[in-house]
Amino acid sequence: DNAIHILYQQDIEAAKNIITNDALIDAQEERINNFVLLTIARQQPVAKDLRKLITALKISSDLERMADHSTNIAKATIHLGEEHNITIDPQLREMAVLAMDMVDLAVKAFDQEDISLADKLGEMDDVLDAKCGELIKNLLEMTAINQEQVQHVMQMAYITRYIERFGDHITNIGESIFFLVKGEQYDLN
């Protein structure tokens, strides 16, 4: 959400902060991985306890990748510059809001270990994918009209794709919740 806000505000300094702070998330993922591996080695958990640890590994990896996509949005914001003079399609904000709604739902599903909530993530991701396709189409049409802005339009297409991938990682988290609760793999796509 912060990365998208910064894009709309064309705030280059804030974008640089997102890029810098990505290292903190990378370090946190490493701490989680080390903790899980150490816990498995020392305590030799079984059944649901082991699934919780495996789920923590999977979710931390997806969260780290989501942070990378936010960092990529910040980098695209810097590439666009403070005075890019292209209109940002409102669908991009709609995509970002939907992705953040998915995050909220995933957190709730995880906290409650509720697979019915996790299952809704797949449906939401389908909507996000459709919005992505429509927005990419609109952006490509813009390049035909404004060839001098092809680089800027391409950056917007990348940002659209980063948000779409963000949704894919949230869907992966939903699948991890299914694994935690049911002990089996499940595909929400």
**Mean pLDDT rounded to a whole number for the chain:** 94
Q: What is the pLDDT of residues 167-189, one digit of tens each?
A: 999 999 999 999 999 999 999 98
Task: Output 84 or 65, whichever has higher pLDDT.
Answer: 65
Quickly count: other Cβ atoms within 10 Å of residue 155's Cβ.
23
The whole-number pLDDT of residue 84 equals 67
Closest CA to 175 of 141, 100, 125: 125
Domain boundaries defined on the chain: 2-182
CATH class of the region 2-182: mainly alpha
Percentage of the chain surpassing pLDDT 90? Answer: 83
d(CA 107, CA 22) in angstroms, rounded, equals: 21
pTM: 0.92
CB 100 within 8 A of CB 167: no
d(CA 189, CA 186) in angstroms, rounded, equals: 9
Q: What is the pLDDT of residues 103-151, one digit of tens each?
A: 999 999 999 999 999 999 999 999 999 999 999 998 888 877 777 778 8
* CB-count exposure of residue 59 (10 Å: 0-12, 13-18, 19+): buried
